[in-house]
Amino acid sequence: MKILLTNDDSLDSPLFRFAVDYFLDMGEVKVVVPMEEQSWKGKSMTRFDKLTLTSLDGYGCEAYGLSGTPADCANFGIYHVFDEKPDLVISGVNMGSNAGLSFMISSGTIGAGLEANIAGVPAVALSQVLPPGAFQSWAVDRQMDSEYLETLFVRMDAMTGRVFDVLKSKGDWLQAPVTWSVNMPSEPAGDWQVEETTLGQTLYTSCFKKEGDVYQHNIDRPEVDQTPGSDGAALKDGHVSMTRLDLRVIGQEIN
């Protein structure tokens, strides 16, 4: 299997290094990853700026850093790194949840998957919920406790493995150009499982807070849609949510 791997947290993310190490065992992996953090970029693509490509060492595979968005990385990797289109695009592992409609639209992690779908390539977008302390530590000084990461990676290994067991049980899962949005809980339940879920209707309000004379991104945390069967409900109960996102059905209903 030919796999293109990207993310939106940049090449510095320890969760991305986990993904590289994990998926090297699944097939021929090539990496195209943003040089700088590109969270909240959705499926935006670079229009006027010129992109630069940097060869990266130490990944165990052909790897590049691109001065663009996650969707840029997906498109570039599909058409300029592989001789033929890859079989699968993996985006992540994102630091934080991407559950709910508003976060799905905003997520650079999912945006890379949707860009792959436009190219006819299926994608899996992986997101790992982090406790506030771990997330804040990374946001402030780009550091995360090594002991915490070691424990986290063991859980992520188990959860990611089970997600792909579910996907592989679907005989045609590599045939449809859809994105499977996967959210892994911070504290899995003792009996955690992978639940195929619907996209919750979680929305947000203001994304900005005044800091002196400027405005800083500071989202008001929304009330999570916990409708039974939704991604938010699965995460609340300590389960892994797996939501099928299919661009082909958007706008197809006539009321």
Query: Could you check whether the bond before residue 93 is cis, i.e. omega within 30 degrees of 0?
Result: yes
Q: Kindly list the domain boundaries of the chain, sorted by start residue.
A: 2-249
**Residue (of 242, 123, 117, 236) closest to 182 by Cα position:** 242
Separation between Cα atoms, residue 134 and residue 159, nearest integer Å:
19
pLDDT of amino acid 20: 97
C-alpha separations of 14 from 21, 60, 64, 111 in Å: 11, 15, 17, 20
- Lowest-confidence range among 47-51, 131-135, 160-164, 217-221? 131-135
Please indicate whether residue 136 or residue 252 has the higher confidence score (pLDDT): 252
Round the average pLDDT of the chain to a whole number and report it.
95
Coil, helix or strand at residue 90 = strand
**Residue (of 83, 67, 75) closest to 112 by Cα position:** 75
C-alpha separations of 196 from 21, 99, 128, 184, 193 in Å: 26, 13, 16, 12, 10
Separation between Cα atoms, residue 129 and residue 77, nearest integer Å:
27
CATH code reported for the domain at 2-249: 3.40.1210.10
Residue 105 has which token pair? 């639209």
pLDDT tens track for 106-153: 999 999 999 999 999 999 999 999 988 776 666 667 778 888 899 999
pLDDT tens track for 25-74: 999 999 999 999 999 999 999 999 999 999 999 999 999 999 999 999 99
* pLDDT level of residue 187 (50, 70, 90 thresholds): very high
pTM above 0.75, yes or no: yes
